Structure 1
């Protein structure tokens, strides 16, 4: 029966680390199977599961190899999601009572809520990585040659599903951000990228795209791409950028090559708000960066390291009236400098 202390059966095998697209299709877990696995995991983590629940979960795991595969993948990813609240909790429980502490506790409850809400916890329980062919952890970047003339670089916390069989070249961006370099090859169809809010088509192009729970955006730096959305085809040329979502119109702007600095582990800020800068850094680390509303709207410019949020924020202290405090390795606080 499953061990409710860690949410996994005692006979659990080590997770299969091979890319999922190399596994037999019959054993690749579908989205529905992944969601079932997360529901079982959430129930066993909730503290209210009884013996019948444990036996039912074991029976579900035995029904299909895809169930076991989804479960193993979930445990491997869940370790990262579970370690953050514990570290933050020790700090918060030992800290003096304050408005900041209460806000931090609310944040921890939001994170810990993943164990109750299951697959709906988009930020801290990325179910998309369970059904992905390739993915990155928080803070990891990865460059991949998917086929002749097709290379992608995945940013932090990104998951993609890939089909490059025959003359097809298809990518599903399930979450996160990536840079794509595509070149046309004889007899090969144009690249298709499903962003969740529309489909991109490209023959020869270099572009980046990001998908969140609120929408997607694409910036083109070489060549051109076409966005098919709601039956309408919109062309995007080099130097242009589109932002779009299901419930909003497509917004066109200028692409900025400096946005690609993340590929080299850097971030280039140009008159960014401080809270936006902190949010950008937070994508690359496990934990919380809190910015006091009193300084959130301060503006900054410069080039900063992407993988060391504390160093990047402290570099602003001589220029801005702020103080950066580290409570633990997971919790950074940015507040006004005391006069």
Structure 2
């Protein structure tokens, strides 16, 4: 559990506005003094600023050449609207937007978070352990008997055990609420919806206006928007990320590349001519170049590293 509560959303937005203004290089002496005065007004301001400094390393790792690609990529509509308003206020341009794509506001507002390529396991309460995957963020609600998690971004593995006097674990994904007494399950949140996999015990999924869905060990539920809930078989090998591995079973090459890309800063481009090639195997999750090059003997592809931030997968010539 963190030593300080996450700043309020209003303070988060103010801190972001000040940060991008100063990082843009457009701020004058008066604005810098005004920022210092804002920091001195309230300890919550300083806490928000400290969190920005701690996650800013991800933004600084994004080269300018990637800024345009980041700006053009689709983003969660709500977050995009908020950030564009903030960026307009701050006068920051494309490079600033790219920074937010790689150091998103959810991490600033979170009680627990991970950077890109980072994974973290935390015992947050008696009988409740959470493992965060790369680029994930969550808030905790642990007052009294409550054991609540609000997943803001990314993916978590939850191990929950019942405790006398404690409420069931409650995980809000923004697309529905998962309730669990004794269970081991993972949840991934995306802009389009969420995916829930149950590996031990059972859980209940609550969605506004729809009947409660139950899921037991070995089941996976996908849900989002106004669509119904899709029920599939849960694959325990999906949890290989905990050990820094990825287990691919007849995956498309472009899907494999996207999976690796979530663990690194930069881009992986796959030529459409080879995007549909299929692969299976166990690969390192934290070294995308090594994982892709391991496919060269088996698939007609060539993997080229243009910079540390850009990997290109093309058809092999000749």
Does the pair score TM above 0.5? yes
Q: 1:272 to 1:323 in 2, by over 3 A?
A: same
Aligned-pair distance for 1:330? 1.8
Task: Give yes or no for the alignment of 1:255 onto 2:234.
Answer: yes
Which ranges of 4 or more aligned residues in structure 1 deviate by more than 4 Å?
A: 108-111, 117-122
Residue equivalent to 2:177: 199
| 319-328 vs 249-258, greater mean Cα deviation | 249-258
Aligned counterparts of 2:110 and 2:153: Cα–Cα separation in 1: 10
Structure 2 counterpart SS, 1:60:
helix
Aligned-pair distance for 1:110? 5.3
Aligned counterparts of 1:267 and 1:297: Cα–Cα separation in 2: 19
Aligned counterparts of 1:76 and 1:143: Cα–Cα separation in 2: 19
Which residue of 41, 59, 65 maps to 1:81? 59
Aligned-pair distance for 1:122? 6.0
Aligned counterparts of 1:50 and 1:260: Cα–Cα separation in 2: 49
Spell out, residue by residue over 1:26-68, the C-alpha distance to the aligned partner (whole angstroms, 9 max, x if none).
xx41122112211222223334334443343333223222112
Task: Give yes or no for the alignment of 1:269 onto 2:251.
Answer: no
Where in structure 2 are the equivalents of 1:111-260 lying within 5 Å?
A: 116=93, 123-232=101-210, 233-260=212-239
Task: Give yes or no for the alignment of 1:301 onto 2:280.
Answer: yes
Aligned-pair distance for 1:272? 0.9
Q: Is the 8 A contact 2:183 2:200 kept in 1?
A: yes
Q: Which runs of 5+ in 2 are unaligned?
A: 74-83
Aligned-pair distance for 1:259? 0.6
Spell out, residue by residue over 1:101-136, the C-alpha distance to the aligned partner (whole angstroms, 9 max, x if none).
xxx67426659x985477897632311111222211
Structure 1 counterpart SS, 2:159:
strand
Structure 2 counterpart SS, 1:217:
strand
Structure 1 counterpart SS, 2:31:
helix
Task: Give yes or no for the alignment of 1:334 onto 2:278.
Answer: no
Task: Give yes or no for the alignment of 1:322 onto 2:284.
Answer: no
Which residue of 284, 289, 306 maps to 1:310? 289
Q: 1:183 to 1:268 in 2, by over 3 A?
A: same
Length-normalised TM-score, structure 1 = 0.81
Structure 2 counterpart SS, 1:295:
coil
Spell out, residue by residue over 1:56-107, the C-alpha distance to the aligned partner (whole angstroms, 9 max, x if none).
3333223222112111211221122122215xx4xxxxxxxxxxxxxx6742
Q: 1:122 to 1:52 in 2, by over 3 A?
A: closer
Aligned counterparts of 2:71 and 2:154: Cα–Cα separation in 1: 24
Where in structure 2 are the equivalents of 1:17-28 lying within 5 Å?
A: 20=2, 22-23=3-4, 28=6
| 141-150 vs 272-281, greater mean Cα deviation | 141-150
Length-normalised TM-score, structure 2 = 0.86
| 59-68 vs 267-276, greater mean Cα deviation | 59-68
Aligned counterparts of 1:83 and 1:137: Cα–Cα separation in 2: 12
Structure 2 counterpart SS, 1:284:
coil
Task: Give yes or no for the alignment of 1:291 onto 2:274.
Answer: no
| 229-238 vs 198-207, greater mean Cα deviation | 229-238
Residue equivalent to 1:98: none
Q: 1:243 to 1:123 in 2, by over 3 A?
A: farther
Aligned residues: 300
Q: Is the 8 A contact 2:102 2:116 kept in 1?
A: no
| 191-200 vs 160-169, greater mean Cα deviation | 160-169
Residue equivalent to 1:94: none
Q: Is the 8 A contact 2:248 2:279 kept in 1?
A: yes
